[in-house]
Structure 1
Amino acid sequence: MIYFDNSATTLISPTVLESYNQVSEKFFGNPSSLHRLGDQAQQVLTSARQQIADLLHCEPEEIFFTSGGSEGDNWIIKGTALEKRKFGRHIITTAIEHPAVANSVRQLEKLGYEITDLPVDHQGHIDPHDLAQALRAETILVSIMAVNNEVGSIQPLTEAARILDDYPTVHFHVDAVQAVGKGLEQVLQDPRIDFLTFSGHKFHAPRGVGFIYAKKGRKIAPLISGGGQEHNWRSGTENVAAIAAMAKAFRLAKSDLPGKIERQNQLRKLLIEHLETLPNVRVFSQLDATFAPHVVCFAIRGVRGETLVHTFEQHEIYLSTTSACSSRNGTESITLQAMHVPDQWATSAIRVSLDENNTLAEMEEFIKVLDQIHQHFQILN
């Protein structure tokens, strides 16, 4: 089996799974309970929070645990809208955000908020000048993803941050779900970024757990009310085992980063250079530094993306159309639409997404199968 769908979800690391099982067995108390078992579980949470904060170079009080990326995006966007509604109702985002962001702002739009979607160029990047032009007195939030999940384009976050230096009251949120271990660590530590969203299952942690970074002094309204967990910001009994496992996975993801990134870049380069030799193939991801090392999006003209996904599956190769979240409901790629890719190409797009565990042998086998599939459909067309 070759698994090239890591942007959708990663395989949980064996050592992370071992940690999850151990914590589940040994620290099963409710962290809010006053007895010794509760204290032990609370200590595990405190340790996990500190580990993540150390890796992000922030304070543990700035880390809040969630159920994953979708909750984190929803919370920051809607929580900002609720907290700052008396100061303004204008939100700026981009035309290529993940549905967790895009659908959140559309909900707010129905409630009277005004949304500006920044356009992208043909490679999927926003122009910082457009952000500068869009900002106004009633703007309360700017939400820009770090790495696009469909084509891998890296957004100019540093340039956006410098523009927002002149707007200190505007919340700046970055969806960093696809950015862990991809060489953006320094960018994500920019002091102007107020909020970051992370999801554990994107870096070999269990599903159903994530966290946000919320800069000290910035406030968002809670969306989940209840027992007052997470400093009264996010209620609900914490998933202690998953949180502990996520903290370990986050640490492992940040180890040996140059080597991991280089290996992914080598595989990406090999694939893109081969794709560029094939007729009736269009590649939407580029090899330059403005693209993440793990995503390659391409299309074979005249063959729908879902057909290609199932054809590769027959060879025990697993990938996806441009976004796993839109694959099953048949939604076309919002990123390729925003890039003004013609429908005949956009509906044929598929995504290969790598991680540090993929090998040269796997990529060579993939290319061999790709050539067979490409030749087959060229004959049919």
Structure 2
Amino acid sequence: MRYFDYAATTPPFEEVITTIAEVMRRHYGNPSSMHRYGEDADKLLKRSREVCAMALGVRPAEIVFTSGATESNNLAIKGAAIQYQARGKHIVTVSTEHPSVYEACKQLRDQGFEVTYLPVDAEGHVSAKQVCDAVRKDTILVSIMHVNNETGRVQPMQDIGVALKKQFPRVLFHVDGVQGYGKLPVDIRGWQADLYSLSAHKLRGPKGAGLLFVREGVKLSPLLSGGSQEQGLRAGTENVPLLVGMSKAIRLADERQAETARRMIEWRDRVVAEVETIPQLRLNSGNEAPHIVHFSYPGMKAEVLLHTLEQLGVAVSTKSACSSKLAEPSRVLLAMGCSELEASGGIRISFGDEHTEQDIDELILALRQAVAKLESLERWKH
């Protein structure tokens, strides 16, 4: 079975697995404890923070460790909303955001905040002008995803961040960077982002570990009450083994980004070209994110095509992993103007750095065979 669902999760680097096991075995102290075991664990935690900060081009004190991007996004959005609600109760985001942003904003709306969900064009983009035009006197936060987890559309973060801060310097800018980091260049300072979320398991790190960059001077209201860990923003004993593993994965992803992107772009372009030759399929992604190709088979349920491909030895996905078990059409595709038939038949193929030319050959062959098989079944029914 060939795995093409790297946008959902990735197999950890062998070095990461080895490191996590070693830390679990040898450094099991609580980093808040004052004895030698605790001090050893605390040193590992500090070093992990330094490694992550160096890769992101920020200061170690600006890194808050979390359990993953969902927690990071919730802490950024809800933490900012609660902390700055005296300034205003208006938030701007995009209609195609990941559920951890979309639903967090929806929950705040139910609690009396106002949320503007910006529409996207047919390609899934928003512009800096759209963002700035939506800002009001009572706007406290703008939250936008760098790379869409479903279609791979890339938002113009530099344009948005610079324009936003030039016109509205007091409005906080949050970037969900989960699908972009390690695939595309990231410039948190250049984007003038105040908050930036990452998840380890999208980078061949462990599940259950993530981080939130919080720019110096920005205050957040913590979601979890308890101890003073993570500068008081995230109570609870830090998961040292996973955080050490995450720091290693982030470092490796950063070092290999350019070469990984170059290889994945070749594979993406091959698959995109193939999809465009199959009349039954409609391409929904473009040549933007190196690792994602998304298309629809209008009139065919996505699950049917997914399982047909699986029978042929290829694992892909429908929608995002967080929403794939929901029966309704893709919210992201509907927002891009796709019909319900198109939005119900979406398939996402996502690549990783382990793939080879042979893997891509097998993927293309399986795709051709799957569509031919389903097309013949449809003709037989009629």
| Residue 176 of structure 1 pairs with residue 172 of structure 2 | no
Aligned to 2:316: 319
Query: CA offsets per residue over residues 48-97 of structure 1, 9 Å max, x none?
Result: 00111111111100000000010000111000111001000000000000
Higher mean Cα deviation, 277-286 or 87-96?
277-286
Contact 1:280/1:300, CA 8 A, preserved across alignment: yes
After TM superposition, list the pairs within 5 Å mapping 1:242-261 onto structure 2. Answer: 242-261=242-261
Aligned to 1:308: 305
CA distance in 1, matches of 2:180, 2:328: 24
Counterpart among 343, 367, 371 of residue 368 in structure 2: 371
- Structure 2 unpaired stretches of 5+: none
What is the DSSP-based 3-state SS (H/G/I as helix, E as strand, rest coil) of the residue aligned with 2:211? strand
| Residue 356 of structure 1 pairs with residue 353 of structure 2 | yes
After TM superposition, list the pairs within 5 Å mapping 1:337-356 onto structure 2. Answer: 337-356=334-353
After TM superposition, list the pairs within 5 Å mapping 1:154-169 onto structure 2. Answer: 154-165=154-165, 166-169=167-170
Contact 2:147/2:177, CA 8 A, preserved across alignment: yes
- The one-letter amino acid paired with 1:149 is N
Query: CA offsets per residue over residues 203-250 of structure 1, 9 Å max, x none?
Result: 011101100100000111111111110111110000000000000000
Contact 1:128/1:160, CA 8 A, preserved across alignment: yes
- The one-letter amino acid paired with 2:277 is T
- The one-letter amino acid paired with 2:290 is P
Contact 2:98/2:149, CA 8 A, preserved across alignment: yes
After TM superposition, list the pairs within 5 Å mapping 1:178-217 onto structure 2. Answer: 178-186=179-187, 188-190=188-190, 192-217=192-217
What is the DSSP-based 3-state SS (H/G/I as helix, E as strand, rest coil) of the residue aligned with 1:137? coil
Q: Kindly, what percent of the aligned residue pairs are identical?
A: 40
Contact 1:323/1:333, CA 8 A, preserved across alignment: no
CA distance in 2, matches of 1:118, 1:301: 26
Aligned to 2:119: 119
Aligned to 1:336: 333
CA distance in 2, matches of 1:380, 1:184: 44
What is the DSSP-based 3-state SS (H/G/I as helix, E as strand, rest coil) of the residue aligned with 1:326? coil
- The one-letter amino acid paired with 2:22 is Q
What is the DSSP-based 3-state SS (H/G/I as helix, E as strand, rest coil) of the residue aligned with 1:116? strand
- The one-letter amino acid paired with 1:182 is K
CA distance in 2, matches of 1:108, 1:295: 31
CA distance in 2, matches of 1:106, 1:304: 28
TM-score normalised by length of structure 2: 0.97
- The one-letter amino acid paired with 1:168 is P
Aligned to 2:32: 32
Contact 1:146/1:178, CA 8 A, preserved across alignment: yes
Task: Give the deviation of 1:274 after TM superposition.
Answer: 0.8
Task: Give the deviation of 1:256 after TM superposition.
Answer: 2.9
Contact 1:75/1:223, CA 8 A, preserved across alignment: yes
Aligned to 2:220: 220
Aligned to 1:274: 274
Give the alignment's Cα RMSD to 1 decimal.
Answer: 1.0
CA distance in 1, matches of 2:145, 2:337: 19
- The one-letter amino acid paired with 2:314 is I
For residues 269 and 51 of structure 1, do their structure 2 counterparts lie closer, same or farther at Cα, with a shift above 3 Å needed?
Answer: same
Task: Give the deviation of 1:346 after TM superposition.
Answer: 1.1
TM-score normalised by length of structure 1: 0.97
Aligned to 1:4: 4
Higher mean Cα deviation, 358-367 or 41-50?
358-367
- The one-letter amino acid paired with 1:87 is R
Contact 2:229/2:235, CA 8 A, preserved across alignment: yes
Aligned to 1:60: 60
Contact 2:75/2:222, CA 8 A, preserved across alignment: yes
- The one-letter amino acid paired with 2:171 is V
CA distance in 1, matches of 2:191, 2:128: 18
CA distance in 2, matches of 1:212, 1:133: 27
Higher mean Cα deviation, 300-309 or 115-124?
300-309
- The one-letter amino acid paired with 2:304 is T
- The one-letter amino acid paired with 1:181 is G
- Structure 1 unpaired stretches of 5+: none
CA distance in 1, matches of 2:363, 2:318: 16
Higher mean Cα deviation, 163-172 or 26-35?
163-172
- The one-letter amino acid paired with 1:372 is Q
